[in-house]
Structure 1
Amino acid sequence: MSQHHILYALEDKPSFMVSLTAAVQHVLASFIGVVTPTLIIASALGLQAEVPYLISMALLVTGIGTFIQTRGFGPVGSGLVAIQGTSFAFISALLMVGTTIKARGGTNDDILAMMFGVCFWGAFVEIILSQFITQLKRVITPITTGVVIIAIGISLIKVGMTDLAGGFNSDDFGSVDNLNLGLTVLLVIIFFNAHRNRWLRLSAIFIGMSLGTLIAFFAGMTDFTALTSLPVFSFPQPFKYGFNFDWSLFLPIALIYFFTAIETAGDLTANSLFCQLPIRGEKYLKRIRAGILGDGFNSLMAAIFCTFPNTTFGQNNGVIQMTGIASRKVGYFVAAVFVVLGVFPFIGAVLQAIPKPVLGGATLVMFAMVAVGGVKILTSEPLTQRNSLITACSLGMGLGVMMVGDVLAQLPPWLANIFVSPVTTAGLTAIVLTVVLPGSKVADTSTDSLQSDVTKQQPCTEK
């Protein structure tokens, strides 16, 4: 990305209309990603009645978190246009938490109290890790990060395919109507994602879901009756559903916080590149440390206000690259738009009415792309014999426990809960093998290769 592609640098202040236009593009790029994890978790656990409030809080916390990351408050926040959003990485672990509480006879409030309780304490893992990011280079490698992201994507594909067929425990699961609708959405997304027009590619998922919902409406597969009973505004209520904690359910969540910190470091590095900021040296490390600390703080706030953990979204880096607008002012506009969306609960009710096959057709693509992103990270380093062995063992262990769940049946419940998540098992295996196998080297997070792509750039002003 050469210097002339940056139209507005970090400290520049474009006009109101330019800022609003750029902000809307950021919102379109991230909106589906913000709300989808909540829809998936609620659908799988039977939390439909809570969806409007949960969606409102997801949008509201995204707005507040984006402002904190963009503005920066002391050591908290990267100072970049780093859009926050609900993390997909926690879905499988949170579903495990929810199904465990449900199996114990817990109510919906009990399920949510436990999920938000373990997420609250888990956020401190990322907060603490942010202060030791340079000391973790030994295990923060493209191999460990790639393995974890691949495991996340593959473990979620089952959820997407289940929704495409009609959703968990649906009466018409696998019906021709459901399959046709889900595959139609999938094909529309593929078509627009392959289009030469960048705006159509950016909006591919939004277009696919909108068209699928419209088809479902005329086919009588949607129900918007819940809209009539909703309040006009939705205000945050700290720990609305209560607060609970369980060590055996906490540990898988804590490990995922560790890996999301690694992922955030990569996203902020890419963001820095597009903003033409240096990606080496003390200022760079300070920016990454502040960004990961911002992620942890925002996830803490998310748990308090009853939504799921936040992370820095990578897709918005593409918007910056495409528009050439890296202005911090745009980040403020994005935050304001999300806050406004968050205080109106009817948005959550409208999204709840989206038929499961439509949601499945879209999320199947998202989850598969998550896995593909992991492959790209994994292959950014040569697949030597050692790296291939780490990858094979880690994915074998992770996917093995997913495919053969009974393999953990004889373990103590607290230990089985840790390893039941394929993400946790794959991640732990990768970390252990990275440390113990001979020939390991301290990772440099591949910044040298990234730096070579942006030589001769003139950095923009940084706070």
Structure 2
Amino acid sequence: MSVKVLEANEKVEAVHQKLEYKSLFLLGVQHVAAMCAGAIAVPMILGESLGLGQNEINILVSATLMMAGIGTFIQTLNIHDRVGAKLPIVEGVSFAGVSALVAVGLSYRGTDPIFGLQVMFGATILSGIFAFLVAPVFGKLLKYFPPLVSGVVVTSMGLSLIPVALRWVAGAPKSSNYLSVNNIVLALITIAIILTIQKLSKGFLGNIAILLGIFLGTLIAIPMGLADFSTLQNAGIFTINTPLQFGVPKFELTAVLSLFLVQLVIMTDATGNQINLSDICSVNPDQKTIVAGLRGHGLTSMLAGMFNSFPHSLFGQNVGIAAITGVKSRYVGTAAGIILLITSFFPKVIAILTSIPSPVLGGAGIIMFGIVAANGIKRLGTVSYDRNKNLVIVATSLGMALAPIATPQLFTNFPQWGKILFQSPVTLGTLTVLILNIVFNEFDRK
């Protein structure tokens, strides 16, 4: 079975082609299954750090999925020519802001965790405005992102995500099956299922190999005793996320400045991801498209703070999905956005998604995140290494990017702004390769 394109005009770019509804639904579900665990993890971590009750955490999770759906609409649909990249982007709450948001929440909570939450939302709103306004500045930096630079950035992204997948394979540190052999076996089974489908099917089944791997892996986890759906019983039937459920956001200078730095990290990450996704979709990542995408992230973050959520960005795992499937239509992202929005209304569906065993997600993640890194390596393969210092630039930049991956505590004694910037492998690798490329290549040309 192949993905049938409904557009009669063959000249329509692949990124703008409309697919059959059945194909859109299954491909959209695959994107949601791939990103859901990561998206849900952030509000759960932040809620637990503040000591919120389960009801409050459920509100944050619902809000996160709703805003992921809305943010995905902004990026994939033609809402405005200057807002949204019009690529198969799937938005979600960014992990880049977790440590800073935890620090903000704990600093301002006092005896009232809700006050800490209000400060976090206030900082998120202003950081979204900041990202929206400075997006054109990032667009002007695009000329400094030749394949040498963008290749290092994308490779750094993949390398930074692979440890996340491996942690999923290991399981929750406090669980009884942490680091168990069964976890590793289940992850390997999931990988084998995905690779087998990729080998045997060149058509539509190959495009949804990740989804089938997650589904079949979860079924296999049940007799292995690694699947727990107990939360499904206590989940409600219907919920709706309304703005300012926790009260009016509060604006504190220190918190706002911290989130400004977080947005710079997010925008650096998003720029690299967008360049990678543009390459996968055979679209020229010009300045206008990059700026429109960054404005989309800013607008989504701005709305997120009003609707009980946190800074959003393009999810790297979904770039990996696009690379694996080869499906370039932005409407696949729109389908994922619709599914995320509808899911946010039904707690039982959220409970099912959060019950997917982490080793299953880890097995799928190893492939998805590895594809991201492989795309970066592929781009670096187009770079000339003769009679220049490009090999040294790549070696140094990737070495710097690996520093916070290998030793997460390396920057513990840095000031807060330093920890926010340098604890991100993508930011550290990007800053290094940008500076070295300018010093060794741009200066020499002039």
TM range (shorter): 0.7 to 0.9
Offset of 1:413 from its aligned partner?
Answer: 4.3
Q: Which residue of 2 aligns with 1:251?
A: 261
Whole-Å separation in 2 of the counterparts to 1:26 and 1:6: 18
| Contact 1:38–1:308 (8 Å) recurs in 2 | no
Map residues 243-392 of structure 1 onto 2, 5 A cutoff.
245=255, 247-248=257-258, 250-268=260-278, 271=281, 273=283, 279=284, 286-305=288-307, 306=309, 309-311=312-314, 314=319, 335-384=337-386, 385-392=388-395
Whole-Å separation in 1 of the counterparts to 2:408 and 2:336: 42
- Secondary structure of the structure 2 residue equivalent to 1:339: helix
Q: Label 1:172 to 1:155 Cα distance change in 2 as closer, same or farther (>3 A).
A: same
Whole-Å separation in 2 of the counterparts to 1:307 and 1:191: 38
Of stretches 342-351 and 50-59 in structure 1, the one that deviates more from structure 2 is: 50-59
Q: Which amino acid aligns with 1:422?
A: P
Matched, 1:399 2:402: yes
| Contact 2:131–2:263 (8 Å) recurs in 1 | no
- Secondary structure of the structure 2 residue equivalent to 1:231: coil
Q: Label 1:240 to 1:403 Cα distance change in 2 as closer, same or farther (>3 A).
A: farther
Map residues 41-120 of structure 1 onto 2, 5 A cutoff.
41=42, 47=48, 49=54, 53-78=59-84, 80=86, 82-86=88-92, 90-91=94-95, 93-97=96-100, 100=103, 119-120=124-125
- Secondary structure of the structure 2 residue equivalent to 1:310: strand
| Contact 2:104–2:120 (8 Å) recurs in 1 | no
Write out per-residue CA displacement over residues 150-206 of structure 1, whole angstroms, 9 at most, x where no aligned residue.
Answer: 222222322221221222333332212222222211221222233333322222221
Write out per-residue CA displacement over residues 271-307 of structure 1, whole angstroms, 9 at most, x where no aligned residue.
Answer: 464xxxxx59xxx754554344234323433444315
Q: Which amino acid aligns with 1:255?
A: V
Of stretches 116-125 and 361-370 in structure 1, the one that deviates more from structure 2 is: 116-125
Over the matched positions of the two proteins, sequence identity in percent amounts to 26
Structure 2 residue aligned with 1:225, among 212, 218, 230?
A: 230
Write out per-residue CA displacement over residues 194-224 of structure 1, whole angstroms, 9 at most, x where no aligned residue.
Answer: 3333322222221121112112222333332
Q: Label 1:109 to 1:214 Cα distance change in 2 as closer, same or farther (>3 A).
A: farther
Q: Label 1:221 to 1:187 Cα distance change in 2 as closer, same or farther (>3 A).
A: same
- Secondary structure of the structure 1 residue equivalent to 2:200: coil
Q: Which residue of 2 aligns with 1:28?
A: 29
Which ranges in structure 1 are unaligned for 5 or more consecutive residues? 274-278, 443-463
Map residues 142-153 of structure 1 onto 2, 5 A cutoff.
142-153=147-158
Write out per-residue CA displacement over residues 246-291 of structure 1, whole angstroms, 9 at most, x where no aligned residue.
Answer: 6456524422313313432553465464xxxxx59xxx75455434
- Secondary structure of the structure 1 residue equivalent to 2:222: helix
- Secondary structure of the structure 1 residue equivalent to 2:91: strand
Of stretches 213-222 and 63-72 in structure 1, the one that deviates more from structure 2 is: 63-72
Q: Which amino acid aligns with 1:350?
A: I
Q: Label 1:123 to 1:393 Cα distance change in 2 as closer, same or farther (>3 A).
A: farther
| Contact 1:43–1:168 (8 Å) recurs in 2 | no
Q: Which residue of 2 aligns with 1:436?
A: 439
Whole-Å separation in 1 of the counterparts to 2:225 and 2:171: 14
Q: Which amino acid aligns with 2:74?
A: I
Whole-Å separation in 2 of the counterparts to 1:380 and 1:125: 35
Matched, 1:216 2:182: no
Q: Which residue of 2 aligns with 1:183?
A: 188
Of stretches 116-125 and 426-435 in structure 1, the one that deviates more from structure 2 is: 116-125
Q: Which residue of 2 aligns with 1:166?
A: 171
Whole-Å separation in 1 of the counterparts to 2:334 and 2:175: 42
Whole-Å separation in 2 of the counterparts to 1:400 and 1:319: 28
- Secondary structure of the structure 2 residue equivalent to 1:86: strand
Q: Which residue of 2 aligns with 1:194?
A: 199
Whole-Å separation in 1 of the counterparts to 2:381 and 2:6: 28
Q: Which amino acid aligns with 1:378?
A: L
Q: Label 1:378 to 1:401 Cα distance change in 2 as closer, same or farther (>3 A).
A: same
Q: Label 1:221 to 1:296 Cα distance change in 2 as closer, same or farther (>3 A).
A: same
| Contact 1:270–1:317 (8 Å) recurs in 2 | yes
Offset of 1:73 from its aligned partner?
Answer: 3.3
Alignment TM-score, normalising by the size of structure 1:
0.75
Matched, 1:424 2:406: no
Q: Which amino acid aligns with 1:149?
A: V
Whole-Å separation in 2 of the counterparts to 1:61 and 1:289: 20
Q: Which amino acid aligns with 1:394?
A: S
- Secondary structure of the structure 2 residue equivalent to 1:218: coil
Structure 2 residue aligned with 1:408, among 402, 407, 411?
A: 411
Q: Which amino acid aligns with 1:264?
A: Q
Whole-Å separation in 2 of the counterparts to 1:253 and 1:353: 31
Q: RMSD of the TM alignment (CA)?
A: 4.1
| Contact 2:319–2:372 (8 Å) recurs in 1 | no
Alignment TM-score, normalising by the size of structure 2:
0.77
Of stretches 108-117 and 66-75 in structure 1, the one that deviates more from structure 2 is: 108-117
| Contact 1:122–1:254 (8 Å) recurs in 2 | no
